[in-house]
Amino acid sequence: MWEDDELDLLLSSAMGRLEHSLRWKQTNQPLSSLQVGEKFVTVVFDLPGVERDEVVITCTDDRVSVEAEVTRRAKRGSRVTEGYARYSKQVVLPVKVVSEKGTAKFKNGMITVKLPRRVHRPLKEPGKRLRLTA
């Protein structure tokens, strides 16, 4: 039988789904992923339908943000609709990075931001060696 808290967990996970491809006149949060490697932090944003010159990526030592404004005119027969959508998201990084050395690649609406991690200077002295006792 279902445990009560399993059921609660299930029912409390807020799930809703909207069908629109672009939410007109609202700010959307694009999907993103964050990967922390040994030397680099990689953040990927997914902005389908957006052109390269419509995106602005900004980064500081501890966060990366994306902003994009899209205006599209769609023509279907004699009807012309103009839609506007705004994407905005800020990703806080769990480690410090060197923002000046960041790179951002755009491909097909996916933006990959690669930031080198801030390296601490290695210890001048080797640590104290501990003797292993039984």
Residue in the block written with tokens 């959307």: 28
- The mark string for 39-58 relative to another protein (x by CB under 8 A, - otherwise) is -----x-x-xx---------
In the complex, the smallest distance separating the C-beta of residue 67 from another protein, rounded to whole angstroms, is: 17
116 Cβ contact list (under 8 Å, min separation 6): 39, 40, 97, 98, 101, 102
Check residue 11 for interaction with another protein (CB under 8 A).
yes
DSSP 50-74: --GGGEEEEE-SSEEEEEEEEEEEE
Asked if 66 and 30 touch (Cβ cutoff 8 Å), the reply is: yes
Check residue 88 for interaction with another protein (CB under 8 A).
no
In the complex, the smallest distance separating the C-beta of residue 110 from another protein, rounded to whole angstroms, is: 4
Interface residue with another protein, options 107, 121, 124, 128 (CB under 8 A)? 107
Asked if 24 and 84 touch (Cβ cutoff 8 Å), the reply is: yes
* Residues found near another protein in the complex (CB under 8 A): 2, 6-7, 9-11, 13, 15-22, 28, 30-31, 33, 35, 44, 46, 48-49, 107-110, 112
